[in-house]
Amino acid sequence: MKKLKPTHIMGFIISAAICSACFVLALNVLEKKNEAKYNNFKVKNIDALEDDPAVWGMNYPLQYEDYLKTVDQERTKHGGSESIPRTPTNNDPRAKVSQSKLVEDPRLVTIWEGYAFSKDFREERGHAFMLEDQLYTLRQKVGQPGTCINCHASTYKAMMTLGNGNLEDGFHKLNKMPYFEASKHVKHPVSCIDCHDSANMNLKVTRPAFITGIKSFKKSIGIKDYEVNKMATRAEMRVFVCAQCHVEYYFKGNEKTLTYPWDNGLKAEDSLKYYNDMKFADWTHKKTGAKLLKAQHPEYELYSQGIHAKSGASCVDCHMPYKKVGAIKITDHHVNSPLLKVGASCRTCHNKSENELEARVVSIQEKHLEMRDIVMDALVSYIQKLSNNQNHPRIEKLREYHRNAQYYLDFIEAENSSGFHAPQEAARVLMKSMDLIRKGEDLLSKQQ
């Protein structure tokens, strides 16, 4: 009989070790498969008009859990928000709000004089607050239309119900109501149903104003009869679900129809031309008499002009990156600043340290804010000079410079990334504002 050599014994031990490792691995895989299966296990059939996120949460607890975290308030260098405690009153039961941008930068009060924005304008915060912040802003004092509710609540069910199954009809009905009547038809902030089809969880656009707006934009670039829910790619949908709300808008006509000014394109000059052609104005400046436009949160429009849009990075890639929970890869439904999760948001594409990436963002933002401040000072100074020269023979031309310069500056000021979404485009639009202010000052001094 051959004697067992020590190498044989070693071989036996090694293969036994490998075998048991395989067994442990197999068990582990089985366990994780089950975990994945249970994750998709439907405990409930979700109705096509279910707007309560808690009900969807029974089937998709992980996404629901993250969605609830949008109540968190955390400041980044130039984004996020601060939680400011306040004493609740009968008129406004909020126990915390975010910081006032008017207190942070009083130049805004001069720029928007005569308009509701000069009374109350705060830092935006998480989706969980969208409905209550709109209900209690002092900007409600002027009597807003139901149109406001389009981007501040889960509106799909309300529109389908009001329109007897026709979304577009329900949309028009909601717009026409006074705000506080419209608000009775909604219950929740943006919810699962506003971005998903409950039957298959596919992404879905539910805002009629966006469906019409993106159709007119596509037409301007030669694509006819665009139907977003049928023709958009999955990558486009990862931008469009956000672009339903994070865009510049106005209320059209007596019907107060929510409308996106995209017939000529998405750039600042395209929407300015649109408004100028129809002689639209949001308000008349109290000191200069100019009929002005207020731009609001054009995140989608500015992003569209930047390198990340050109490279196919979507809002969702940065603001709702994939994350792992056990063996499951999910989309992070805690929508917030990417600087609070740089690793997941940026390192999928950029092989740099988190510190380095954050420093790059902050550096872009600080250069941007420096440029914006220069233009803001120039506009405030022009407003003062113009208000002291109301009898100037070329007053209408001077007011036209004010109108256009205001729109360009506001388009950039109102955009919430502090330049990051498209730094060079933001700088270019600021320069256009500066150029108009310079021309206005030139004319003022020539014919005094």
Phi, psi of 329 (to 5 degrees): -100, 120
Question: What span, in angstroms and rounded, lies between the C-alpha atoms of 416 and 298?
Answer: 8
- Subset of 233-252 contacting ligand HEC (CB under 6 A): 234, 238-239, 241-247, 249
* SS3 call for 197: coil
What residues between 137 and 156 interact with ligand HEC by CB under 6 A?
137, 139, 144, 147-148, 150-152
Q: Is 345 in the site for ligand HEC (CB under 6 A)?
A: yes
Residues 400-436: b if buried by 16+ CB within 10 A, e if exposed = bbbbbbbbbbbbbbbbbbbbbbbbebbeebbebbbeb
Residue 202: both structure tokens together? 């596919």
Find the binding residues for ligand HEC in span 39-98 (CB under 6 A): 53, 56-57, 60, 63-64, 67, 76, 78-81
CB of 214 to ligand HEC, least distance (A): 12
Q: Does 318 bind ligand HEC (CB under 6 A)?
A: yes
Under rule CB under 6 A, residue 295 binds ligand HEC: no
Smallest distance from ligand HEC to CB 414, Å? 6
Count residues contacting ligand HEC (CB under 6 A)?
89
CB within 8 Å of 444: residues ≥ 6 apart: 385, 386, 389, 392, 398
CB of 305 to ligand HEC, least distance (A): 11
121 contributes a contact to ligand HEC by CB under 6 A: yes
| 190 scored as a contact of ligand HEC (CB under 6 A) | yes
Residue 203 as a binder of ligand HEC (CB under 6 A): the answer is: yes
The binding track of 351-380 with respect to ligand HEC, each residue x by CB under 6 A or -, is ------x--xx--x----------------
> Is residue 313 close enough to count as binding ligand HEC by CB under 6 A?
yes
How many angstroms separate the CA atoms of 108 and 114, rounded?
A: 12
By CB under 6 A, residue 408 contacts ligand HEC: no
Nearest 5°: phi and psi at 137?
Answer: -65, 145
Least separation in angstroms between CB 394 and ligand HEC: 34
Question: Which residues within the stretch 247-286 sit at the binding site for ligand HEC (CB under 6 A)?
Answer: 247, 249, 258
By CB under 6 A, is residue 176 in contact with ligand HEC?
no
**Taking CB under 6 A as the rule, does residue 188 contact ligand HEC?**
no
**Which element (helix H / strand E) includes 323?**
strand 322-325
Task: Indicate left, alpha or beta for 253 from its phi (over 0: left) and psi (-120 to 50: alpha).
Answer: left
Question: Does 158 help bind ligand HEC (rule: CB under 6 A)?
Answer: no
Residue 144: φ, ψ to 5°: -85, 160
Tokens of 214: 């993106």
